[in-house]
Amino acid sequence: MNKPEAKTQDPIKKISYIGVGANLNNPHSQVQNAISLLAELPDTQLVQSSSLYQSSPMGPENQPDYVNAVVKLETQLAAFSLLRELQKIENAQGRIRNSERWGPRILDLDILLYNDEIISEPELTIPHYGMRQRNFVLIPLFEIEPTLMLPQEQPLAALLDTVNTSGIRKL
């Protein structure tokens, strides 16, 4: 089966927002290190990163709190190439993939948005499938891009009114 995009690089720069989270092995350092590595991606520039936020875990509550951030990138990488680069960073920092949904993580990097594109493939969904319900995504995203319009003309600011903001604090 062919991927929806054959090129790994697009001469037109795209704006992408990446969710960064960790709750194992010194999560504060894991997130900061990941942000530094995102700035070194090929054909990519780190435009802005949010503050770090501490948030309660989703799913199983018997795990440490998370440290989260959102990063804005300008990239020539195609969406699937960007995904592969993010997975390389996760693997380099020791991420172990298992079947536990919302379990503890050394590092989690998610493509939240990629321009105004909508992608629905087994290995990549953009906009990220859960971002509209997650305070640990919406709050840092709003911090760096308060006037952002999501695909299908939905204002980011309107989503903030729909999420519970308890259990999250700026570090």
Alpha-carbon gap, residue 43 to 11, rounded angstroms: 9
Does the annotation count 108 as an active-site position?
yes
Q: Which of 108, 116, 161, 169 is catalytic?
A: 108
Whether 95 is a known active-site residue: answer yes
Instruction: Check whether the bond before 42 is cis (ω within 30° of 0).
Output: no
- How much helix, strand and coil, in percent to the nearest 5, is found in the chain? 25, 30, 40
Selected catalytic residue, list 10, 65, 95, 116: 95
For this structure, is 43 an active site residue?
Answer: no
Main-chain phi, psi angles of 23, to 5 degrees: -145, 15
| Segment (H or E) for 138 | helix 135-144
What does the alpha-carbon distance between residue 119 and residue 83 come to, in Å, rounded to a whole number? 12
Q: Which of 105, 132, 161, 169 is catalytic?
A: 105
Look up 10 and say whether it is catalytic: no
Catalytic residue positions, numbered: 95, 105, 108, 110
